[in-house]
Amino acid sequence: MTDRRPHAPDTDVGASRAPVTVTVTRSGGFAGLRREWSAAPPADQESQWIALIQSCPWEAATREPTPRGADRFVWRIHARCGPDEHAAELADDDVSGPWRDLVDVVRGTASRP
């Protein structure tokens, strides 16, 4: 006799986790150059990245930054933390505190071979 009851699919914890990714784009400056860094955390650092993402004041971020001074950069930060997505545009002077921490970790991770 064949068992016709539905079977629960095999679950892989790693496959069911939603990704954590961050993209940082810097534009402007002297020549109007655009640079972009995208990175995802190593598995053992994922919780630290989530904490960094959550520490940024996304709601308070200016959507239309006004660069203060000639040849200043504008930063665009897009973070995906599972099903949640955040985006912000910041003037160069506003990339400080938790924003700077997030930008630095993304740039450092993206530049590793």
**What tokens appear for 31 in the block?**
């020549």
The per-residue pLDDT for range 68-96, each reduced to its tens digit, is 666 678 999 999 998 999 999 999 889 99
Nearest to 71 by CA among 112, 100, 29, 27: 29
The secondary structure element, H or E, covering residue 3 is: none
Q: Could you give all domains of the chain from N- to C-terminal order, each with its CATH number?
A: 17-110 (3.30.350)
pTM of the model: 0.76
**32-37 contacts at long range (C-beta below 8 A, 24 or more positions apart):** 37/106, 37/107, 37/110, 37/111
Q: Which residue has the tokens 């996304």?
A: 58
Q: Phi/psi at 110 (nearest 5 deg)? A: -65, -30
The pLDDT of residue 16 is 39
